[in-house]
Structure 1
C-alpha cells in the first residue's frame, strides 16, 4: 500500500489497512477553535466543503502536552474518525497542515486515507527570508508569504528591511529614514515602508501562524540609504573597477552621495566606523526595533562590507552585537561577522556560502560555534530562492553557481556542509528570497515554489539516510502531488519539468 504524500517528510508515517475517512457536508470538526478555523479554510478552498462545528463523523483537533516534544504532533485516521493531537498549539497547527495535504480525490468524493503519523521537527529554527529593501512588498504580500511558509512548517520570517536601495521601517527615533530613504526600489521602481503599526501587524499575523519575525537592519555595509537621511553617518560610496564591471553588466549607474541608488551592485557603502554618532544611531534603531519585536532575534547583517577595513569591521561588529545583546536579544549576523574577534558570544551566525565552501567561508562560520553559539544554514547555491531556474522564467540571478534546479535545492544535507559542524551546532535552516528582480507577489510564488518545499524538508525532516522518504525521487513525487492543493490556494508555483505534477 503506497504512502500518502506529505511535505516535509514526517518522522514516521504508516498506511493503515482499513478504508479511508470520507469527507462530506456532514463532516464535523471538534476541539481547538483556532486549529479548526485553519483546517476549515483550507478544506473549503481545496474541496468546496464546509466543515461544521457539531457532533457527527468527526475530525478531532486537540492539544495534549504528553504527546511529545515542542511542535510535535500525531495523526490517526481511519474510516470512523480522524484525530490530530499536538503536543502544543504549534504542533496542532502543523498537524493540521499535514492533514490538508492528506486530502485526496476518490472519484467524485474527497477522502483522508487511513494513516498513522508521528512527527516532530529536526531543527528548532526553520526560516524563510523576504528582502523588502531591493523591491518593497506591501503588507498583504508579506501576510500571504507567511501563510505559504507556515503551511510547510516554517516558524521564522526573516525580513531584510534595509539596504542600499531603501529603508523600509518607520522609526520614531530616526524619522528621516523613511522621509528621505524609502521612496525608491531597484530599477527606479516605487519604494515604500511599513509604519510601526503595520510592522506590529506583521508580527501579530506571523504569531497567529506560529512564526516569529526576525528583523534585519544590515550594517555597516548595505547602508547607502542611511546616508540619504543622515549623511553625517555614512561614508561616500567607494567604487572600484570590479564594481564598475558589475554595474556595466546589470545597469543602474554608479552610486553617488546624497542620491538614491537603484542598481544592484554591492559592497560600496559603509557607515562611519570611528564616529560615536554611528553607535548612537545603532542604539536608537535596535532599541526601538527590540521594543516592537517579541521574538528573540535581531539581525545586524554584517555581509559584503567590501569598503570597510577588516579592523574597522571587527570593531563595528563587536559594538553593534553588544548593543543588541544588552537589549536582551540574541544577535544574528551573516557568516562574515565570524571574523570579528570581539563579537558578542551569543551571536548566531548565518551561513550564506556554498554547499561546498570556498574562500574561507566555512572558517568564519565555524568561529560562531567555537564562540559557543550556533549556525543558521542558508547555502546560496541550494536554497537562495531568487536564483534562476534552469529553464525559465526570466527572473532571478545566477551568481550562486546558478541556475539552481529543484533537485539541487533538495540534494544537500545540513550536517555535511561545514566540516566539524554537527546537528547540535545548527540552530536551523533558512531559505532567503532576495528581490533584485522580484517585483510582485506572483514573482515571489514563481521563484519560491517548489524549491521552498525542499528547504522545508531540510529543516524539518529526518536527516538524509535516516528515512526512506529522504530521497530526491521520493520528494519529487510527493511535492508533485501538492500541485492541486497549491493551485486551490492561489499559489502560482513554477511548473518545473523536474516534477511529475498531479493534475487533480
Structure 2
C-alpha cells in the first residue's frame, strides 16, 4: 500500500480499512461556504471534476455518497481539526475557521485515482499544529514581485498550513512600499533591482490587498523594513540619513565573484554584496524617520508583528548598532506591535524585552550566533528558527542548479531540508522558547514566479512539516523515508494547481 500523500503529516492518522469515498460530478461540499468554495477549487484542480453547488442548504440535495460536510465547532485547540472519510461521506470539523481551512487542505491531499475514478480513502485524522508561528518569507527588494505573484505564493504557502507571510520590503537594492509620510522613498529608491533589472513598489492599496488576501487564507503579513544596515536605498531618497558605504576587501571579492560595481553614495545599487550601508545612528532625524516609517506601516498592518531587520550591519559600530536597535524596537513596541529582529540584535542590552529574535545561522550554530539567539529567551521572549542551511529556500538544491546560491554550507538537498529538529538547534532553547519556524526565500537569483516555484518546491514542504507536525521521534512518520514517499504523491495536486516544482531526483514522483 502506498503511503497517504499527507504533508505536513498530521498528529494522528488512522486508516480504517473501509471502502473509499468515490468522487464524481454529484459531489457537493456542504456547510461552511468559504470552506466549501476552497474545497471545490482544490477538487477541480486535482481531478477536473466540477462538483455541485456550494455550501448552505440551497439547490438539489446531494446523494449520501457524495456529501462532504464542512463546519466549525469551537472548543478544540486553535487551528485544529478532525477529519473522517467513509464510503457514505466525509466530515471536516475545525475548532475555528483556520482549522477548517487546514482540514480542507488535508482532504484535498488525500484525493487519489483508482479504478473507480477519483476516491478519498477511508481515514480518521485528528490534527493540530506544533508551533503557533509557521512562516514563509519572500524578498521583494532584491527583485520585485507584483501583487498577482505574491498572491500566488500566499496560496501555495497556505495550502501547506503556513500562517505567516514575512515580506522583506526594503534592502540596499530598492524600497518597495509607498508611504505618504516619506514619498521620496518610492519616487527615488524603488526603480532598481539586482542585476540592473526593473524595480517596482506597492501602493498602500496594493499592500492592503495583500494583507486582506492573506487574511482570507488565515495568514498574517509580517512586513520588514530592514535597518540600520541594508539601507542604501534610503540614502537615494534621503541622503542626509545615510552614511557613505563602507567598502571592504571582502565586499570587493563578492563584486568580483558575482559582477556589478561597488556601491557608491547617491547611486542605485544592483549588486549582491551586503553589510556596507548604515543609517546615521547618532542623528535625531534618523529616529524621526523610523517613527514615520513604522507608524504608517503599523496603521496598514493588522497583524501583531513588525520586523525591523538588524542583520549584517558590518558598516555600523557595534555600540551604535546596539543603541539603534534599542530605540527602534521601543518605537515599534510603543505602536502596540511586537518587534521582530534578526538574531544579531540579541547582543544589544537595551533591546525591548518583547522583541522576537529570528535565527538565521546554521543547524549547528557558529560564531556566537547561539549566544545572541539565547539572549532573546533570557529576556522572556521567543525565537523564530530559520536555519539557513536547512530552510533558506534560495540555496541551490543541487550544485548544477541554475538558480540559487551556495553560501549556507553548499547546496541544500530536499533531504537536508527535512532532516533537522527545531528543538535541537540551539542549546538552551527548547520547545516553549520557539515561536515557530520560517522558510525565507531571498531573490538575488529569482526573477519570475516560475523561479519561486522551482526553488521553493518541494523543500518548502519539508519546512512545513518542521513547523506543523509532531517533533522528530514523536511519530514513526516523522522520518525522511516517510516524507519522501508522502511528498511524491503530491505531484498530481501540485501539477493541477500550476505549481512548477523542481522534480528532484531524491523523490520517486507519482504522476
Q: Same fold (TM over 0.5)?
A: yes
Tell me, yes or no, if structure 1 residue 411 matches structure 2 residue 419: yes
Match of 1:220 in 2: 228
Report deviation, 1:49.
1.0
Contact 2:3 2:486 in 1 (8 A): no
Equivalent residues in 2 for 1:79-478 (5 A)?
Answer: 79-107=87-115, 109-478=117-486
Contact 1:102 1:112 in 2 (8 A): yes
Tell me, yes or no, if structure 1 residue 48 matches structure 2 residue 48: yes
Residues 174-233 of structure 1: CA distance to partner in whole angstroms, max 9, x if unpaired? Answer: 000000000010000000000000000000000000000000000000000000000000
Tell me, yes or no, if structure 1 residue 78 matches structure 2 residue 86: yes
Give the TM-score taking structure 2 as reference length: 0.97
Report deviation, 1:391.
4.9
Residues 301-334 of structure 1: CA distance to partner in whole angstroms, max 9, x if unpaired? Answer: 0000001011000000000000000000000000
- Equivalent residues, number: 502
Matches of 1:252 and 1:279, distance apart in 2? 32
Q: How much is the aligned-residue C-alpha RMSD, in angstroms?
A: 0.8
Matches of 2:95 and 2:400, distance apart in 1? 42
Residues 103-152 of structure 1: CA distance to partner in whole angstroms, max 9, x if unpaired? Answer: 00012600000000000000000000000000001110000000000000
Matches of 1:402 and 1:38, distance apart in 2? 39
Report deviation, 1:252.
1.3
Tell me the SS of whatever aligns to 1:304.
coil
Residues 146-168 of structure 1: CA distance to partner in whole angstroms, max 9, x if unpaired? Answer: 00000000000000000000000
Matches of 1:498 and 1:19, distance apart in 2? 32
Structure 2 residue aligned with 1:59, among 68, 74, 77?
Answer: 68
Give the TM-score taking structure 1 as reference length: 0.99
Match of 2:39 in 1: 39
Report deviation, 1:247.
1.0
Report deviation, 1:3.
4.7
Contact 2:3 2:485 in 1 (8 A): no
Tell me the SS of whatever aligns to 1:59.
strand
Matches of 1:390 and 1:417, distance apart in 2? 24
Contact 1:218 1:302 in 2 (8 A): yes
Report deviation, 1:36.
0.4
Matches of 2:286 and 2:426, distance apart in 1? 34
Contact 2:179 2:296 in 1 (8 A): yes
Tell me the SS of whatever aligns to 1:496.
coil
Gaps of 5+ in 2: 54-59
Tell me the SS of whatever aligns to 2:438.
strand
Contact 1:161 1:167 in 2 (8 A): yes
Matches of 2:434 and 2:186, distance apart in 1? 36
Contact 2:173 2:270 in 1 (8 A): yes
Matches of 1:77 and 1:46, distance apart in 2? 18
Matches of 2:48 and 2:496, distance apart in 1? 10
Contact 2:84 2:90 in 1 (8 A): yes
Report deviation, 1:393.
2.8
Matches of 1:409 and 1:227, distance apart in 2? 37
Residues 352-385 of structure 1: CA distance to partner in whole angstroms, max 9, x if unpaired? Answer: 0000000000000000000100000000000000
Tell me, yes or no, if structure 1 residue 14 matches structure 2 residue 14: yes
Matches of 1:402 and 1:40, distance apart in 2? 41
Report deviation, 1:55.
2.4
Matches of 2:278 and 2:30, distance apart in 1? 56
Gaps of 5+ in 1: none
Residues 391-414 of structure 1: CA distance to partner in whole angstroms, max 9, x if unpaired? Answer: 543011000002110000000000
Match of 2:23 in 1: 23
